[in-house]
Amino acid sequence: MIAKYFAPLSAGAPGAFGLQDDVATLLLPEGQELVAKVDAIVEDVHFFRDDPADLIAKKALRVNLSDLAAKGAAPIGYLLSLSLAPWAGDDWVGEFARGLAEDQAQFGIHLLGGDTTATPGVLTVSITALGSIAAGKTIRRAGAQVGDLVFVTGSIGDAGAGLAVLKGEGGSLSKVDRAALIARYRVPEPRLAFGRLLPGFASASLDISDGLIADLGHIAEVSKVLIAVDAARIPLSSSLAAIWGKGMDAVVRAATAGDDYEIAFTAPPAARAAVGAAVRETGLPVTEIGVVGTGEGVVLLDNGKPVPVPHSGYTHF
Amino acid sequence: MIAKYFAPLSAGAPGAFGLQDDVATLLLPEGQELVAKVDAIVEDVHFFRDDPADLIAKKALRVNLSDLAAKGAAPIGYLLSLSLAPWAGDDWVGEFARGLAEDQAQFGIHLLGGDTTATPGVLTVSITALGSIAAGKTIRRAGAQVGDLVFVTGSIGDAGAGLAVLKGEGGSLSKVDRAALIARYRVPEPRLAFGRLLPGFASASLDISDGLIADLGHIAEVSKVLIAVDAARIPLSSSLAAIWGKGMDAVVRAATAGDDYEIAFTAPPAARAAVGAAVRETGLPVTEIGVVGTGEGVVLLDNGKPVPVPHSGYTHF
Q: Same structural domain for residues B71 and B220?
A: no
Nearest chain A residue to B209 by CA distance is A22
Q: Same structural domain for residues B89 and B167?
A: no
CA distance A250 to B252: 68
Min distance B41 CA to chain A CA atoms (Å): 8
Q: Same structural domain for residues A114 and A186?
A: no
Residue B315 lies in a domain: no
Q: Which domain holds residue A23?
A: 2-134
| A119 with B122: Cβ contact below 8 A | yes
Question: Is the pLDDT score of A157 beyond 60?
Answer: yes
Q: Same structural domain for residues A216 and A242?
A: yes
Residue B314 lies in a domain: no
Q: Same structural domain for residues B128 and B6?
A: yes
Task: Please state at what angle helix A212-223 crosses helix A248-257, rounded to 10 degrees.
Answer: 60
Q: What's the mean per-residue pLDDT of chain B?
A: 96
Residue A142 lies in a domain: no
Residue ranges in chain B whose pLDDT is less than 70: 311-317
Residues of A in contact with B40 (CB under 8 A): 81, 83, 115, 117, 126
Q: What's the pLDDT tens digit per position in A258-271? A: 999 999 999 999 99
Residue A271 lies in a domain: yes
Q: Same structural domain for residues A216 and A291?
A: yes
Per the CB < 8 A criterion, the answer to whether B65 and A50 are in contact is no
Q: Same structural domain for residues B159 and B104?
A: no
CA distance A41 to A57: 10
Residues of B in contact with A37 (CB under 8 A): 22-24, 79, 113
Instruction: Return the sign of the alpha-carbon dihedral for residues B290, B293, B299, B305.
Output: negative
| B45 with A118: Cβ contact below 8 A | yes
Residues of A in contact with B314 (CB under 8 A): none
Question: Is the pLDDT score of A315 beyond 60?
Answer: no
- Domain end among B101, B134, B167: B134
Residues in CB range of A129: below 8 A, 6 or more apart: A36, A37, A38, A61, A64, A65, A67, A68, A75, A77, A78
Q: Same structural domain for residues A23 and A70?
A: yes
pLDDT interval class at A21 (50, 70, 90): very high
Residue A139 lies in a domain: no
pLDDT score for A311: 65
pLDDT score for B311: 66
pLDDT score for A35: 98
Q: List the one residue out of B78, B84, B81 whose CA is nearest residue B61.
A: B78
Q: Same structural domain for residues B234 and B93?
A: no
Q: Same structural domain for residues A115 and A194?
A: no
- Domain end among A134, A168, A200: A134
Q: Same structural domain for residues A128 and A153?
A: no
Specify the pairing of strand B305-306 against strand B297-302.
Answer: antiparallel
Per the CB < 8 A criterion, the answer to whether A119 and A83 are in contact is yes
Q: How many CA atoms lie within 13 A of A138 on its CB side?
A: 28
Q: Same structural domain for residues A98 and A59?
A: yes
Chain A interface, mutation test: which of B10, B30, B34, most A Cβ atoms within 10 Å?
Answer: B34
Residue B72 lies in a domain: yes
Question: Is the pLDDT score of A19 beyond 90?
Answer: yes
The one-letter amino acid at A224 = K
The CATH number of whichever domain residue B276 belongs to comes to: 3.90.650.10
pLDDT score for A274: 98
Q: So what's the ipTM on this one?
A: 0.93
Question: Is the pLDDT score of A312 beyond 70?
Answer: no
Mean pLDDT of A75-98: 97
pLDDT score for A292: 98
pLDDT interval class at A310 (50, 70, 90): confident
pLDDT score for B314: 39
Considering only the beta carbons, identify the residue of A36, A83, A114 that sits closest to B124: A83
Lowest mean pLDDT: which of A66-70, A109-113, B167-171, B312-316? B312-316
The CATH number of whichever domain residue A23 belongs to comes to: 3.30.1330.10
DSSP H/E element including A180: helix A175-186
Residue A99 lies in a domain: yes
- Domain end among A73, A103, A134: A134
Q: How many domains does chain B have?
A: 2
CA distance B19 to B6: 8
| A140 with B21: Cβ contact below 8 A | yes
Residues of A in contact with B71 (CB under 8 A): 21-23
Mean pLDDT of A40-45: 95
The one-letter amino acid at B159 = A
Considering only the beta carbons, identify the residue of A35, A126, A140 that sits closest to B126: A126
